[in-house]
Amino acid sequence: MRRLDTEIEHGRTVAGDALGDEWAVPAADAVRTDGVPAAEPLYRMDGVGKLFKRRGTRVAALDAIDLTIDQGEFVIVMGSTGSGKSTLLMLLGALDRPSGGTMSCEGRELDRLSETELCRLRGRMFGFVFQSFNLIPTLTALENVETALVPLGVPGEERRERAYAALTDVGLAQRAGHVPTELSGGEQQRCAIARALVKDPHVLLADEPTGNLDEKTRDDIVGVLESVWRERGKTLIVVTHDSTVAARAPRLLRLHEGRIVEDVRQNGTVERAPDGRVADADEGVAFEAGAPASTPAGVTAR
Amino acid sequence: MFFTYVWRELRRRKRQALLTSLGLALGVALVVIVSAVTTGVGDAQDEVLESLYGVGTDVTVTKAAELENANVRGQFRMTTDDVEKVGDQFVRDSVLATPGSGNFNDTRVTEVAGVEGVSASVGGLMLTNARVTGDYEWLEARELQAQEQGEGGFGQGPPPEGENGQEERPIEITTYSMAGVDVADVDLGPLGGAEVVDGRLFETTEAKDFVAVVSQSYATQEDLAVGDEMSINGKDFEIVGIVASQSGGSGVNVYMPLTRAQKMVDLEGKVNQIYVRADSAESIPAVKSEIATLLPSATVTSAEDLAEDVTGSLGSASSLADRLGTWLAAAVLAAAFLVAGLLTMAGVSRRTTEFGTLKAIGWRSRRIVGQVMGESMMQGVIGAVVGVGLGLLGAFLVAQFSPGLEASVTTGPQIEEGAGPMGRMAGELLNETQTVTTELTAPVGVELVLLAVGLALAGAVFAGVLGGWRAARLRPAEALRRVE
């Protein structure tokens, strides 16, 4: 993979140019250098609820969620069908607004932002990976990755270069000219990950990213996501049913009927190198299963 | 990226794109065909009106006859003294000024010429000749029989019967129309619009000469040629020219100098038609109005008014093009717009995940609407190209295979109930019903092509707006939730 600091520098410049200084990311926030969370968490949710109307009755998909997530965390969200995990992901990705409570991301109150501002935020800050990949069927892998740079106003030539680099990063460069139907499920998901990463987002949100994949491909994809978290310092939030995937994250949130019923830090201390990377076992920092998390993320499980 | 995406999406949804484009194309093609035919009918009408009315004539002025003049009553009497013997046949001409038509003093022509906006005016005298021909011996026998019975001649008593009790036809009545032409300005008036086939038109020095110009159809029918003499009401006229009206019309058969025509019917100094040429097309309404004020008892008619009185297949075609054609084109176009709009909306609904995903990665609604609009416009362009092609083909086929159109304008007198047999006969036979045949064309001009392209694009914009509206309303979370 290319050097992370270069990419972040590049991404910040583009984001700042395209979206204005308001959205420019402070360098200090982009990468933690000391393993200690910044004073302001990435996300803060206070009493957040989400109601849906179904057949005339209101159903609470989320109920009074209090949650903070720090930058650079790898969080797994689990729960049975209908527990509200996808709804939580939608809120975290600024795809939806809460029905009640307050919610902020990098200090900005998401529930107060206009649709246009949310759209800008999505274009710059979040990368999405979906269970069904959601690639545009008529576009090649390269063009699909390019679509993420279109809202940022990146010129065509640069767009292609960055898209190709993103595909290279996920090991799909040789399939750049193929349309999704010509790609395997794993390749399609790699392409979707490349699309999510090409704009160098702060947060990578994945909704059942391995749900449609076989075991081997699942491991590949989880490996790719994990490396993004480790090497690029991205915040990674993954919704999954798969306990194998869940076991690889330092933090696990479990939802039941719209409430967080469990919030555990399962893999021990997470430390980051000065360049933001998380050290792996080979480098001397182990994920110790069952050990308490050292990150003081303010989590309230309800 | 934009065009790549648009083009690939259209290729992916070939059937829908084709259906939308063909719908628009059909609507556009119908508009092209109907508009072309309407223009063609209009051109045919103009051609016919010019032929019936005279090229360069903008307004005609006529007058209805006084009631007693219009009610032509009379007994049809004829003796051997009244007829001309030609071989064993008799011939008798009865020339009348068009019954029902009132006359103007020719000083009125000068007054009309003085109206503001009038560039020229001439008088004309429309006449009709009823020529009675029959067996001379039969006429002599009938005359003798009448004298024995103390009657005056043919025209009294029961009609003769044949062997089977059927009515015999010992006499034949044919009519033809004549026009007295002001030789000082032959381009305006009855001869305006006539094309010289042989010989020439009148010269200004021939005002009192016994010269005639005949229509080509009449010359063919009567086997007449330039240089021949023809007898009219006992006078021999030299044929100096043969003309064909532009559309081969059979309006007037014989033209003669106005003075000769006036003398023939003892109407010296009178005319029954005034032909007016206006300064410009724009001044025609004002000229009409001024003349109507000047001559309150006159009927002032423009070509536009006459067009409303055109009957026959041309009238039917005009009515069909105006009403059914226009409505049909409008209905098909509206249906095409609707189908295009519905298909585009349905297409957007099917692409909920796609647009939801694009919104999730930061595409603004405006950009997605632009994408939908782009796809719709592309279909509109295809629809325009195919529609104009189909329209051109349709217009060509219509022009190629349509039968000739026939137009009739009746400007004759109203004959009262109870008029005598001669009066009725004269009225029916001498009515000025002029019939002209013409070919239907269906011209497609640049303006029509531009209109067609504009309509197809308008349909595409309409469909794009509907689809875009639907796409813009998609909330990303809902769009993705529907699928996830």
Q: Tell me whether A166 touches chain B (CB under 8 Å).
A: no
Residue among A95, A151, A152 minimizing CB distance to B476 = A95
Can you give the pLDDT at residue B81? 76
Residue A117, domain extent: 4-283
Query: Hey, what are A267's tokens?
Result: 């893999």
Summarize the confidence of residues A81-95 as an average pLDDT. 89
Task: Give 3-state DSSP helix, strand, coil % of chain B, rounded to 5.
Answer: 50, 25, 25
Q: Any alpha helices (H) in B54-168, and if so which ranges? A: 67-70, 107-113, 136-148
**Is the model's pLDDT at A37 over the cut of 50?**
no
Residue A293 lies in a domain: no
Q: Please, are residues B302 and B284 in contact by the beta-carbon 8 Å criterion? A: yes
Interface check A96 vs B, CB under 8 A: yes
Q: Do B9 and A138 touch (CB under 8 A)?
A: yes
How far is B62 from A101, CA to CA, in rounded Å?
A: 90
Which residues make Cβ contacts (< 8 Å) with residue B76, sequence separation at least 6? B154, B155, B421, B422, B425
Q: Distance between CA atoms of B124 and B255, rounded to whole angstroms?
A: 10
Identity of the residue in B8, B356, B476 whose CB atom sits nearest the CB atom of A139: B8
Could B484 and A131 be called an inter-chain contact, meaning their C-beta atoms sit closer than 8 Å? yes
Chain B neighbors of A156, CB-CB under 8 A: 1
Alpha-carbon distances, residue A62 vs A90, B216, B360 (angstroms): 11, 96, 21
Closest by Cα among B290, B255, B284, B337 to B114: B290
**Which token pair is A198?**
């090409």
Q: Is the distance from CB of A148 to CB of A195 less than 8 angstroms?
A: yes
ipTM of the complex: 0.76
Check CB contact of A195 with chain B, cutoff 8 Å: yes
Helices (H) and strands (E) in chain A, counts: 9, 10
Average pLDDT per run of 10 along chain B, which is 484 residues long? 85 86 87 83 72 66 64 58 78 77 85 88 88 82 77 52 54 84 86 84 90 89 89 88 64 88 88 86 84 87 69 64 71 83 85 88 89 90 91 87 70 47 51 66 85 89 89 82 53
Could you read off the pLDDT of A218-269 as tens digits, one per residue? 888 888 888 888 888 889 999 998 888 888 889 999 999 899 998 888 755 4
Give the Cα separation of B113 and B107 in Å (integer): 10
In a mutagenesis test of the B interface, which of A97, A120, A136, A188 is the best target, namely the one with the most B β-carbons within 10 Å? Answer: A136
Pairing of strands B235-245, B211-215: parallel
Confidence (pTM): 0.60
Classify A82 as helix, strand or coil.
Answer: coil
Beta bridge partners of A77: A239, A253
- Whichever domain contains A113, its CATH number is 3.40.50.300
Q: Which burial class, exposed, middle or buried, applies to B40 when counting CB atoms under 10 A from its CB (0-12, 13-18, 19+)?
A: buried
Task: Say whether pLDDT at A35 is over 80.
Answer: no
Kindly state the tokens that stand for A300.
Answer: 């309230």
Instruction: For chain A, give the percent of residues with pLDDT over 70.
Output: 75
Question: Among B2, B357, B371, which would you mutate to test the A interface (most chain A Cβ atoms within 10 Å of its Cβ)?
Answer: B357
Q: Tell me how far CA of residue B414 lies from CA of A42, A53, B65, B417, B440, in angstroms.
A: 98, 80, 10, 9, 32
Q: How far is CA B269 from the centre of its chain?
A: 32
Give B367's contacts in chain A (Cβ within 8 Å).
150-151
The single-letter DSSP state of residue B156 is: B
* Burial class of residue B166 (count of CB atoms within 10 Å of its CB; 0-12, 13-18, 19+): exposed
Q: How many domains does chain A have?
A: 1
Chain A nearest C-alpha distance from B350 (Å): 13
A64/A83 Cα distance (integer angstroms): 13
Chain B residues in contact with A151 (beta carbon < 8 A): 361-364, 367
What value does the mean pLDDT take over residues A32-47?
A: 67
**A292 lies in a domain?**
no
